[in-house]
Amino acid sequence: MKLLLTGFEPFGGETVNPSWQAVCLVPEQIGTVTVVKRCLPTSFARAGTVLTDAIAALRPDAVLCVGQAGGRAAVTPERAALNLDDARIPDNDGACPADAPIVPGGPAAYFATLPVKAMAAAIGAAGVPAAVSNTAGTFVCNHVLYLLLHTLAAQYPGVRGGFVHIPYAPEQTRAKPGQPALPVADAARALAAAIAVLDAPASGL
């Protein structure tokens, strides 16, 4: 089984993005899963193309994208993506879309096809805070998850896709009193634990 695992570039004035740092620490072989890693630009315009080009080139059996969710206290597999771009801050190209559909005429949402509850349970069993999330936001993370699931549904029907948000790294919260953070090595351990159960059946939906 081949997994495409992606992280993101830093954005929003941060100098690191723990999603890519954590992805870099994930082993390249986890049980029978071979992990191939790519870094996506934090760009509404470019992220989707980089991702779909990688899928076309690599032909993975599953795709797991990882992003930073500043303010969250747990590692959170995402349940769904909305067909909506609505940015509070500019992306790395300076784009700041408001209330725009990602795919005009597309479904209002897609559910992730990876087993989000099994993944959250595995992350928790690895000793890392975990919860299933019901929103990937409306920034580039949600944009990428929507495009991923839209592309898989249309072109690669047997390939499963999903997204995991991770908290800030501790170095990012020094000037943000009270904000939760998770050491990047724990985030990597969480991702490895989630990857080890990607074969689980998805929840009913």
Q: How far apart, in Å, are the Cα atoms of 139 and each of 90, 109, 143, 162, 192?
A: 9, 15, 6, 16, 25
Contact 8, 40 (CB under 8 A): yes
Fill in the per-residue mask, 66 to 95: x = in contact with a copy of itself (CB under 8 A), - = not in contact. -----x-xx----xx-xxx-x-x-------
Tell me how far apart the alpha carbons of residues 5 and 98 are, in angstroms, rounded to a whole number: 28
Is residue 143 within a helix (H) or strand (E), and if so which, with residue range? helix 140-155
Tell me how far apart the alpha carbons of residues 31 and 13 are, in angstroms, rounded to a whole number: 37
Residue 23: phi and psi, rounded to 5, are -55, -40
Fill in the per-residue mask, 136 to 155: x = in contact with a copy of itself (CB under 8 A), - = not in contact. -xx-----------------
Buried b (16+ CB within 10 A) or exposed e, 127-166: ebbbbbbeebbbbbbbbbbbbbbbbbeeebeebbbbbbbb
Using the minimum distance from each CB to a copy of itself, give the nearer residue, 63 or 102: 102
Tell me how far apart the alpha carbons of residues 175 and 152 are, in angstroms, rounded to a whole number: 40
Among 8, 11, 20, 110, binds a copy of itself (CB under 8 A): 110
Least distance in angstroms from the C-beta of 14 to a copy of itself: 16
Check residue 27 for interaction with a copy of itself (CB under 8 A). no
Q: Is 150 a catalytic residue?
A: no
Check residue 161 for interaction with a copy of itself (CB under 8 A). no
Among 36, 50, 124, 199, binds a copy of itself (CB under 8 A): 124
Residues 9, 65, 78, 150: which is the catalytic one?
78
Q: Is 24 a catalytic residue?
A: no
Check residue 18 for interaction with a copy of itself (CB under 8 A). no
Residue 119: phi and psi, rounded to 5, are -65, -45
Least distance in angstroms from the C-beta of 102 to a copy of itself: 10
Residues 65, 143, 150, 165: which is the catalytic one?
165
Contacts to a copy of itself by CB under 8 A? 71, 73-74, 79-80, 82-84, 86, 88, 98-101, 107-111, 117, 124, 127-131, 134-135, 137-138, 169-171, 173-174, 177-181, 183-186, 203-205
